[in-house]
Structures are given as structure tokens and as C-alpha cells.
Amino acid sequence: MPGAAKRIAFIPGDGIGIDVTREALKCLEALRAARGTLLRCEVFDYGAERYLRDGTTLPPGEMERFRDEFHAIFLGALGDPRIPDMAHGRDILLAMRFGLDLYVNLRPVRLFFDRLTPLRGRTTQDIDFVVFRENTEGLYAGVGGFFKKGTPDEVAVNQDINTRKGVERIIRAAFEFARARGKRRVCMSDKSNVLRFAHDLWQRVFHEVAREFPDIEATHLYVDVLAMQMVRAPNQFDVIVTCNMFGDIVSDLGASLVGGLGLAASANLHPGRTSLFEPVHGSAPKHAGKDVANPMAAILTAALMLEHIGLPDDAAVVEGAVRRAIAEGKTTRDLGGELGTRAVGDYVASLIRAS
């Protein structure tokens, strides 16, 4: 691993991923200017343009190079209407989640200001939880196939892969996080009333692991009820742990409770290893290149990344700057402001520089 400077691989990717990554980089540069934070940011052009131009998704050996030579990877977003099957997304994003064994997809759902939630009467006290999404198996494993494709008798199968090891490590990570952060409750969400094999495993493992954490209250909700309760009474949650597909869905719902996808950050982690950080949102092609996307999710993702690579004070400065910009109404339109993507990035960077 390199010496003092933290080396970070940036993949802006596609659509608004490019717009928002530019602003995240701007904020990290401001951090260097203000605090001397040593970061070596290198930008890689993997994404739809490159794939369409020369067929490259992630070159052989690149993932291993990121793993061995970089402290973190930052991804803007992937997704392009010209590649409807998302082939490059599987090769870049999903391949790194699986290949680097980033089994925790951590997605904070935290309300910064009362006025940002669409839930009537709810305050910042009520909405502050974290989703622990399993990130290396489930329906995302890509196991399946077609039979008699294109005929009237076609069969299409995607297998839901749940391993003892995979289920246990995400559940344990959720409990360990709760304990380390002084959180009282872990809620596991599944559909064990229907998925009688796969989610029976989740039930058994959850109860077993919960016994190791008697200081943490272990609760369970079926995922349909979870969706309802997240809206009805989000104050009951500290940590939610769930499978890959359910976690994908509830993380967008969670984002909508706290101001939308323009504020939602996420981390793909394997504790102790080089991990991947990305906003929850996608490439939103209709907003791409128009200076309208909210860069705050990407900037908050950069803060999450700084925290995880051992720079918590720098992370706090970046998050504080975003909070202040929101408080002052220096935001894009999705948050009620009038600024463009670049102007928001400039403003947040100026607050960091003045810190």
C-alpha cells in the first residue's frame, strides 16, 4: 500500500455520475487546500462511452490493482440507454461488489433538517437509521438461465442464492455496527412466510447471532410491513438488515424519507479491505450534462469514504459543509433551491476551504 497519501480511484461512469463526481472531486481538492489532507485522486474512464468505443468494461487485472494499490474506489453511477442490458454495469459495478467481496452495502437514512422529509410532523429525531444490505449474493448472483427462449414455452429462471456464510456475515456486521455506534435495535427484514427455504435460513441465523448481542434488541418485520413502517413510524429503526434485492428497494424508499436520491450516500464494504463508495442514485440520463443533478449525494459519499479510510475529521468537515449549504438554501431544485450542479459544488467547496 502507498505511504502517507490515500490513493483513490474515481470512476465517474455515466450520465449524472460524471456531473456529480466532478463536484465530489472539487470538494476533496478544497479539503487538501484547507487542511492539507493527503489524497491522490486518479480518474478512470470506465463506463458506457468507453464500452461503446472499444468494448472495454473493466480491463483484466484492474480490479486487483484497485484492491492492492488503492485505499478506496469511488463510483459516480453507471447506466446508459444505449446499453439496455446494462452489460457494462454488471462488469464494472456488480463485478467489483462480488470480486472484491464487498459484502456490506451500508446506506444511511438520516434526516438533516425537518423540512426535508415529506412525512408530516416528523423531525430529525425520528429518522436516523442505517440499512445493511447483503451485497454479494441473493437474486443478484446471476445464477439462472433460459429454457426454450423466444418460444411460447419459454422458461426464465433467476435463482435466489443464500449461503450460510453470506447471511451470517451481513447479520453479524449489522449487530456489530449497532453495538459500536451505541444503537439499540437491529431489525431483520425478510419474506420468510413465503420464501420458506432461503429466508428460513435468514430466520435461523438471525436468532442465533442475536443471542451473541443481548444488549441489542433484535426485531423482525416481513419486508412488506417494513415498507409500511418506514413511512408510518421510521423512529422505530436504528439498523435494518436485509437481503440484496429488498435492500435495493428499501434504500430508495429510505432516501425519499430524507430529501430524495440527491442526498443518499452509500458504501460497499469489506471491513479491512479496499472498498467501493457510490451515491445510491443512478445515472438519471434525462438530467445528464444539464447542470441540474444534485451533487450532494456524491459529496456525502466522499465523506463516508473519508470516514472509512481513517479520516473522520475530514469527513466531518465535508458533511458539515453540506449541511450548512442546505441550511442556507444553496441547493439544486430537488431540494427547493435555484443553483446548478456546479454552483452547489463550488459553494460546498468554498465552505470547506473556509473551515
Shortest distance in whole angstroms from residue 316 CB to ligand NAD: 22
Q: From the CB of 252, what's the least distance to Mn ion, in Å? A: 6
Nearest to 287 by CA among 329, 341, 336: 341
Lateral strand order in the sheet of 217-222: 39-43, 6-13, 72-77, 275-279, 265-269, 104-110, 128-134, 239-242, 185-190, 217-222
Alpha carbons 74 and 276: distance in angstroms, whole number:
6
Q: Minimum CB separation from Mn ion for residue 257, in Å?
A: 15
Task: Please identify, using beta-carbon distances, which residue of 126 and 137 lies nearer to ligand IPM.
Answer: 137
CB of 41 to Mn ion, least distance (A): 25
Examine residue 248 and tell whether it contacts ligand IPM (CB under 6 A): yes
Q: Exposed (0-12), middle (13-18) or buried (19+): which is 134, by Cβ within 10 Å?
A: buried
Binding flag, residue 134, Mn ion (CB under 5 A): no
Total number of residues that touch Mn ion (CB under 5 A)? 1
* Binding-site member from 126, 134, 238, 248 for Mn ion (CB under 5 A): 248
Please tell me which residue in 19, 190, 248, 314 is annotated as part of the active site.
Answer: 248
Under rule CB under 6 A, residue 89 binds ligand IPM? yes
Q: Say whether 330 is catalytic.
A: no
Phi-psi map region of 36: left, alpha, beta (phi>0 left; psi -120 to 50 alpha)? left
Residue 283 interacting entry, from Mn ion, ligand IPM, ligand NAD, none, C-beta within 5 to 8 Å by type:
ligand NAD
Tell me which of 51, 103, 140, 347 is the catalytic residue: 140
Task: Write out the residues near ligand NAD by the rule CB under 6 A.
Answer: 16, 20, 77-79, 86, 93, 261-262, 278, 281-284, 286-287, 293-294, 297, 334
* C-alpha cell belonging to residue 332: 439544486
Examine the residue annotation and report whether 252 is marked as an active-site residue of this protein. Answer: yes
Residue with the closest Cβ to ligand IPM? Answer: 248
Q: How far is CA 343 from CA 245, 296, 331, in A?
A: 35, 12, 8
45 catalytically annotated: no
- Secondary structure class of 255 (helix, strand, coil): helix
Comparing CA positions, the residue from 84, 23, 90, 15 lying closest to residue 57 is 90
Interaction site with Mn ion (CB under 5 A): 248
